[in-house]
Structure 1
């Protein structure tokens, strides 16, 4: 049952239907309702039923008039929801039910044997919150002093059979409650009201002004319990995963597993988390016996080479969630079939954990039955991936910290803009050492900083890289085929015809598209089965010897394969990356003179950069909103310059490459913390992680309808709020007037990313023929 109030509530609470009846009468008299929702005879029948009028002391008397009470309560209890939702009418500011829906009755009034019901707060906090709420209600209704205090009340129901918890948010409607003075009304002066306002959270002060015995709370409170199990479980998981020990310690992980069981609604669910560290796969934790139930059974470290050809390798390569209906029928688990045979797990759901596009680990959940996971479970798992990705990333960082010896002092190289803060910390650290206190360096955290992120990624780099690989492999096979054919012409041996056929078949398969393992497999084939006969074949005549010489001239002796097209592609990538990075560094250096700021630049297939701005980063705290807007406009201008430069460099590249440009806007500031083990800054706190998650996933963003967001020749500006969009539109309009940008601006809703919803984007073309843009870019390039 619902927990009883252990402390006597100081106010008299009286059940009365009069406020609800008056509400009905007023609405009918006003003509606001087109029809009478409860029937024309209800008020007449209520007038003839004195047990339902005025203060109701005997709640048992209500049972004689259940039908009439139900008709009246249909004003606040929708009949269509009577059998599906949990709601009740209760005595004001009490949990004593007057009328309850069947679901409310089953959950909270007469629950099954063994079912536990508890509030989300202890008894003292519950009593305190209810008392403050009553005082605020009286002050607002009788004295016009309106104050707000958020007092969320929730109830947790734990089922004995499954051990699972269900969370319900309690919503209270006080519209049909009236505070009444007992005896002579108390008059409060302006000074009294100011005192009440100042001490609104202090019941003892309010008691002196408004003694509880001088008031009565009359009417009926409408209570609704809304299930929020998923939301509460996600919140609890987020809080737990902030502590990296949660995934590292067995006790912490078992607590996580209990939350996951609640989240998936499966009392027998078993969870496991693995992480990739260099050339090892590490099992961080499991909610079961290690040697029986884990995908990575028998040891907490497995060489990645050992997992070749397994389901784990597929997970790392594809980066997509995997559902295994039956572990005993899954070929990718053949290496672990004996271990799964010992366990009772049959179904698996395994999610990859990707950080900035890199596979860093996996989250695995299993159940005893066959085919237990479906699309709904996959959607639930998608919500968990960002949380566990951050937790595993932090756990990996902690592992690095533990295994690496301290070679240098904790801070050897920091960004010049924040060097002053490290000097302060170092001085205090040295002072503590001089005083004999062996204390670590203090935490260095910069609060309320604004992130500015932008990227210029090479469009289609993976496809072009695969194309270059395929061309090189095809050339390698063709060179070998020429040797074998020349030899066959010189001496027509059947074995040479057979070898030529094998080479031709591999060439044919290669034309159908490059597949995983082709690069290694074809190179090994040529080395071990074709090249081994060259020495003998070269003796058959000068024509064959010339073909062998041509083969060896083109095949790289160190790599053992033709590497021409790949080298050209890598040269093009290097040219574009170096050009964009040099231009960005020049622009950023000029902005350091405007306002010192933290800057990071990364090069992969393209260039991205991250800037942090804020008053806490400056020794003089000279930051203002004007600087933030200026940097956002500058970032937009720089992106235009990068696009122009990329177009100029394309003419010099052996393999012409296009770059797609993106800017992420976030209005909400965040906190960053310096990680001494990694010698870098990272976001501080679970809420701030959202920006990091968005950055890591934006390269996969598509607009609603399926089109990819980023396109060469255009800038995509991703945002969340209307305020962010309005500011960026102003900057875009300015650059359109300058001739940097094309006139048309597209507005798009983005498809939900894993763990991220509600993103929008502006997309605008870049005027690559603009003379003004060319002059500005050239002025920086010299």
Structure 2
């Protein structure tokens, strides 16, 4: 036991203001009570100790910590009473301190050695951020005053969690330091200030409120007498488990960071710096394992397989085999003999790993993944380590299952957003209908009909971004490719004619020249089919025969067959360039609309559906029935109409800006259909999409589908033109509203000052159509 003084806090400016007295009196009073109540043999020992204190002159004295050696016998008696006899003081962290913990004056060998060697490296873990040690001490004092003198119980406990990095292992260790104030008496100086719990409750456990408490209840009114008992407990393993548990519950970090933190906790749990951990959730698509995700990057097997280019088929075969027969496997050393029996160990050996183990992890009796234990040193796999890891396995199982669930949720979200019509803005209605179906359904009645999902009185907005002359562009690309192919055939046959003397070659060249002339003009779908037949039935068999039987001509003939490859051949160059250009335009438009609709949804929930044509078309529906919990006003409709017009201008500028990136030059046209009256829409279960409801509303769909190629009345000019936005409408009120939006965007320099008012040709069953048309300003920066 040690009587040397250990300073808990070097900065004791605050504590010198607190009146404290180191005394044995509270302990003696406690002994007297125990002597009266204790019925076992302990009472004799208590009487003996009490007698020693009463005979000694240390009672009723104000002692100094520096004089502790004078009272060694008394202090050892206190230790004997307050600790179990079986404890070894060389291993037990225990000490006595001043009433308000400031100086330790008596401690076990274990506590003294720990404090001496680690005190400078310790740092508090559970102190509030920004809280100073002096503020912590004040909170300690006020919690004691409020509990003893006012009867106010506090949430705060007299314990602190400390951590330090072990210099030998590099791993963090955690210690719980608990302060027992049982032998501290508080003496009142003067009158006790009157306070109400409601007045001080906000400040009790808030370190920033301690200064306010000091104004209400001055510390000068109190004197603290006695001593405190301090115990220190190593809770490293418990804290590591708590860290894992808290990380799973709070989800305060990204999934990748979460894996890293949990693996660090596993290393702390192992108490061996040489041991590393890997975690691999079993993510599947259509019951097939997949590993190319961030969640799988924490596995050393995965990272090593990628680094050393293990064949994908081999790796999947290994993992599938293990999944069929999962069991714990540990290799203390990766010898050549073991590598020959288990080839996958070779990549780990190349990565410098010398010991490796796999442990299957189950969640609800279903395999959720594996935990890897490995080292760059040869390690002995002790049962003690296994038992430490065993307590963490349920938490690891939860982590891996969380990854599986989150991955499945991401896949489902993509499917919903990209492939189905069900959007968050209308999800509530489908939930409601599905619940009614379950609630009202009669289990004995099969093939029950589910009610139709309907939204009444919604305002429609339609927009179309079309690639100009896409049909003509396709025909032109086809013609150019076919002419290139026929040219290659004729060149190939001409070369063959020099070495192979067959009249049939001249006939094939003649037929190719005929086709070249026909293709150079106008080619129909029927012509294309006949040409395919000519190539398939005559040209291909002819050239294939000479390629197989005349090796010297193989190189020449291969040039023709290479040209037929759809993905790389010369006879598809123009069609590939066209398709690539169209795809770039449509992808850019789709990406813009997906981002832009977030802004639209924030103003008021609406249903937004896109359709792929040669360009992109979209329908938007907005109204009270879409979001019954929010009050709808026409201002939201006006806002989305302005957004639609502005977004069309931005899309036109976006596609114009892609010109240099297009392998085939293309232009887009922008069209808006203005419809002022609300309509009803319903979800068609057979087609899995929304459609208009009722005869009147169907007229809206008819007009929408017929205006894409409408002409200006009395001319052969199409309404839609590159670089312009066309707005089709029926009545002047609609035009007046859009004129205001156009004027605003002209002032913003987004639209040009060339607004046109146009009458449109009569369409089948549709008369009275008019249009506004205005150019987009390409001059301002994109």
TM bracket (short chain): 0.3 to 0.5
Question: What TM-score, normalized by structure 1, do the two folds share?
Answer: 0.46
Q: Which has the larger radius of gyration?
A: 2
